[in-house]
Each structure stands twice: as structure tokens, then as C-alpha cells.
Amino acid sequence: MENIAVIGAGYVGLVTGACFADLGNKVCCLDIDAERIHNLKQGVLPIYEPGLAEMVERHVQAGRLRFSTDYEDALERADFAFIAVGTPEGVDGEADLQYVRQAATSIAKAMKAPLVIVNKSTVPVGTGDWVANIVRENQPEAIDFSVVSCPEFLREGSALQDFMNPHRTVLGSLEADAADRVAQLHLPLRAPIMVTDLRTAEMIKYASNAFLATRISFINEIANICEDLGADIKEVAVGMGYDPRIGPAFLDAGIGYGGSCFPKDVKALAHMASVQGKHPQLLRSVMDINADARLKVLARLRETLGEDLNGKVIGLLGLAFKPNTDDMRDAPSIDIAATLMQSGAEVRAYDPVAIPNAQRLMPEIHYADDPYVLAAGCDALVVVTEWNEFKQLDLERVLAAMRGNVVIDGRNIYSTRELQARGFVHRGIGRGYDASAETAR
């Protein structure tokens, strides 16, 4: 058993703290947001993540997990301090490191014994050295410490599974002993552990996310071509995925990626390249294609409802950037709703968990309590998030409630043939369809 302090009780920090407690360690999660810590002590979590609330409650009751706003309290017995604070997008796309600086400075002033400081936040290449300098400069007295980079690879909606069953653990450090101590923390996970230098570990995180974002933009580019040539992108993706050199993951065409990682990390990597005098053409194209993917919804609606959307009632099925999360950061729904309202449409929406967060960002749209209430009086429905709930809808009930019969399937969760047979006008992304067989009402 180790004593661990986790700085930052947001998405990464809370998952990291709860999972390390689940492995038998004693963990203190610290956050400078007093309201957040108060809520956590009351069992109220700041995020939705399947299984996390139950895990947090279990280990709080067992005495393995606690919460604090005081650095000296959190670090009093700590052997490790994980920095898991936010690194939001800066003005030019760079990662904003103000919270990392605050955390490193506060750790330096509060530590009373040797400590291994672990960067869990997604940070630009070179940040590990920068953190070490900040700690050294702000220590009241010299105390030994080490800095290790341990980037996270958690997917929202399956974060507990990803932490407890990782594909790999990446560690970066200039000190072999420190890297070995962090490796020991991860040994119970029984996954490959790669130890490298600080800067290489930091780059592995950015390169991994940029590559996955590239796959998404690539398949959306192919989907655009499929539409003009009459091919079906879902079948194309399946055929591609059988090739072991390609694989099936991240080949789902749709309205693009969102969330807290891909958009921010691709921009940050492009910014780092530009600062070094490089021209990151591929990364810029990935971002451009992703931005264009969100505009497909408007084009499909005008194709089916007519160029003038003024007064049309459009219902959004889903708001979060992906299923099994309430995260609205850079969600496609935000851009889609804004574009529709600018066109004069009335926008309604439903999401199983993201409505409270969406209301703070988009108070002007109407929110429904369930998909059938949403459908009532709508001219068209737009699938924005591929929640399983939407795949199991009673489509006859949906059609009966609607004023129109158009479904714009931004995530390709429905069969065009099935929806046409039920009387819908269905438009997916990159799908072959027979427009002459459909009539919008």
C-alpha cells in the first residue's frame, strides 16, 4: 500500500484517485474548488462516468479515499503526487499550463518529505523539465523529489475499464529509480510498461490522440466521396477493417469528434510544430475536415426540408460529444444548434445525462424529458450522439408524434432501408440511398 495525493478532482484526477484506491492504496484527492470538494464529501460527483460514483462511495467508506482543499494535508504522508489538473486550449491553440504551474508551485511549498511528482495531465513536450524547475525554485528548503511523466489514455464512458485494463502504461523520467517506483504502482494492472525519457513520453500521448483523430477525419473524407459515387461507407469501413494493418477501430463515419482531448490535443500538437518552424499540413487538414463534418447536418436538412429552415422544428437526439458521458466540451451539438438557430429553426433536444451541462451552454433551446416528447411536432430529428437508447426507439411511435418524417442520422445508427420502409426520409453520412423512393411530408 502506498500513500498517494492526486492534485485535481476533475475527470482524470477523480478516476485516477478512485482506481488507485481500488488497488489498495490510500488516496487523497485535492482540488482548490471548495464547492467541488464539499460536494464530493457528500457523495456528489462533478462528472458522469459509469461506475465511478459507486467506486468512490465504496472507497470513501473503506477509508482508502478522501478529499481535501489543503496541500499540506494532502501531502502530509504522500509518497506520490499525481498532477491531474486541466490544460485548456490557449489563444493560439497551445495548451494553457497555468493550473499545472499552480499545482507545481503549491506542491513545492507544502512538501515536507521526498516525493515523486507524476504528471498525469496532458502537457506539451518539455513540461516535465519545466515542472521540475518550478518545484526547485519554490521550495522553502531543498527536499529531494523526482518528476515522472505518466500520460493518461482514458476514454470517457469507459474510463474505469481503461484504467484497470490498460493496453500499456507509459512512463517517462530521467531517473530510473523514480520510474521504477511508479511502475510498481501499476504492476497489479498486468499491462506492458514502457519506460522512456520525459519528452518522449509526453509526445506519445499527443501522437496517439492525433493519430486517432486522423482516422476519424480520414473515414469522414472517404464518406464524402462515397456519397457522390453511391457507395456505402459502413460497408467500406467493414471491408477496410478486416485488413490487420488497418483494423476496425475509429472508422465510424459521422459528424466528427469532440470532447476534451482530440480537438485540444491536435491543435496543441500543431502549435508545437509551428513554433519549431514545421508545417503540420496533415494535422491542419484533420481539423478542417472535422469542422466541415458538423456542417453536413445543415446540408442534409436543406436537402430534405428545403433551403429555407425558418420556422422548422428540429429535434436533436443527443447532446454530449459521445455516449456514456455528460461532457459537452467541443460537442458537435453546440455548433449544430447554433447554426440551426441562425437559420431561423426552432431547436429542441434530449440527452439521457448531458442536459444540465447543455442548459448552461445553450439556455435558449427547448429540452425534452424523453425522445418521444422530443419528437412531438418536429419536422426532422437529428441523431447527434449514438446512445444505445436511440437504437431501441419505437420508430412507429416516433413517426406518429412528428409533424414531418425526416431523420438525419449523424452517427449512422439506423438502416436506411428499414427507416424508408417505415415511412421516414432517412439521410445518413456516406450512405447510398434512393432519393426517388422517399417523400418528405
CA-closest candidate to residue 387, choices 349, 347, 431? 349
Q: Give the whole-angstrom CA distance, residue 151 versus residue 163.
A: 12
Catalytic residue of the set 28, 150, 226, 261:
261
Asked whether 374 and 381 are in contact (CB, 8 A), the reply is yes
Q: Which three cell numbers stand for residue 416?
A: 436506411
How, if at all, do strands 115-119 and 80-83 pair?
parallel
Q: Which three cell numbers stand for residue 301?
A: 436538412
Residues 6+ positions from 15 with CB-CB distance below 8 Å: 49, 52, 154, 159, 160, 163
Q: Give the whole-angstrom CA distance, residue 31 versus residue 133.
A: 23
Asked whether 78 and 142 are in contact (CB, 8 A), the reply is no
Check the CA dihedral 430-319-329-156 and report its sign: negative
Asked whether 83 and 117 are in contact (CB, 8 A), the reply is yes
Q: Give the whole-angstrom CA distance, residue 2 versus residue 246.
A: 41
DSSP label at 249?
A: T
Query: Is 29 marked active-site?
Result: no
Q: Give the whole-angstrom CA distance, residue 419 versus residue 405.
A: 10
Residues 6+ positions from 116 with CB-CB distance below 8 Å: 79, 80, 81, 145, 146, 148, 178, 181, 182
Asked whether 199 and 130 are in contact (CB, 8 A), the reply is no
Tell me the residue type at 373: V
CA-closest candidate to residue 259, choices 354, 365, 349? 354
Q: Which three cell numbers stand for residue 314?
A: 428540429
Q: What are phi and psi of 315, to 5 degrees?
A: -105, 130
Grid cell 437508447 is found at 389
The catalytic site residues sit at: 261
